[in-house]
């Protein structure tokens, strides 16, 4: 389902998701004909750095090395009117600023509605995080955005992480082979795994 399995009922504040002192509780409603899986999607909660996951999946992920993150409670109202508790895994929005070697990565200018990249979009050289932010703001005025075709990790970056998100310039989530094997062996539902060579370093 392209627009997600859930409808967001209560508004949320992204800053509050990062504040471990605030016990934020997000309420969602299951869409008709949608199946609740270990990883569920809610478009209005955002993509790329927010993940609604089951308690079972949270337990599995907590045994791995994740980038800076926080957990919040998500209460889902099922179609039959009953409630089930999930978790919102929120990754730090600015994590990528020091993780990526922008100068060696490849960025293309794309329309905000174009997914995925076709490889025909113009390439834009980005020298660093501040340059990325400046170009991003300029392009937004034209309803365009910078999207990563190849992400090269900074040579000083800790490459031991088992799960990485480079939102907002990349919509995918990257996991280690070790985490991939566990997700497959434990039959975690709602996850689509695809091998990629986009992430380098």
Give 75-89 pLDDT, tens digit per residue.
Answer: 887 878 888 888 888
SS3 146: strand
Question: Mind listing the pLDDT tens digit for each residue in 90-140?
Answer: 887 677 788 899 999 999 998 877 677 777 889 999 999 999 999 989 998
50-53 sheet: strands from edge to edge: 6-8, 25-30, 69-77, 83-91, 50-53, 39-40
Q: Which domain holds residue 58?
A: 6-95+160-200
**pTM: predicted TM-score of the whole model, two decimal places:** 0.78
What is the domain count for the chain? 2
Minimal CA–CA distance to 178: which of 69, 37, 65?
Answer: 65
In a domain, 48, yes or no: yes
**Which token pair is 94?**
């600015």
Q: Are residues 26 and 49 in the same domain?
A: yes
Q: How many helices (H) and strands (E) does the chain have?
A: 5, 12
Could you tell me if 107 and 89 lie in one domain? no
User: What tokens does 42 get?
Assistant: 């809610």
Residues 85 and 118 reside in one and the same domain = no
């Amino acid at each position: 389902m392209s627009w997600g399995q859930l409808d967001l009922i209560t508004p949320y504040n992204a800053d509050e998701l990062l504040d471990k002192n605030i016990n934020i509780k997000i309420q969602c409603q299951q869409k008709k004909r949608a199946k609740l899986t270990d990883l569920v999607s809610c478009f209005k909660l955002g993509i790329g750095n927010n993940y609604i996951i089951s308690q079972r999946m949270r337990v599995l992920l907590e045994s791995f090395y994740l980038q800076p993150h926080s957990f919040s409670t998500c209460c889902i109202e099922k179609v039959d009117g009953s409630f089930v508790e999930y978790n919102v895994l929120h990754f730090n929005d600015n994590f990528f600023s020091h993780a990526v070697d922008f100068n060696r990565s490849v960025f293309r200018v794309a329309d905000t509605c174009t997914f995925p990249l076709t490889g025909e979009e113009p390439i834009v050289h980005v020298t660093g995080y501040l340059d990325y932010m400046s170009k991003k703001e300029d392009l937004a005025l034209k309803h365009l955005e910078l999207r990563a075709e190849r992400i090269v990790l900074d040579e000083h970056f800790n490459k031991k992480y088992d799960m990485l998100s480079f939102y907002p310039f990349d919509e995918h989530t990257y996991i280690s082979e070790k985490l991939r094997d566990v997700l497959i062996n434990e039959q975690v539902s709602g996850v689509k795994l695809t091998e990629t060579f986009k992430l380098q370093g």
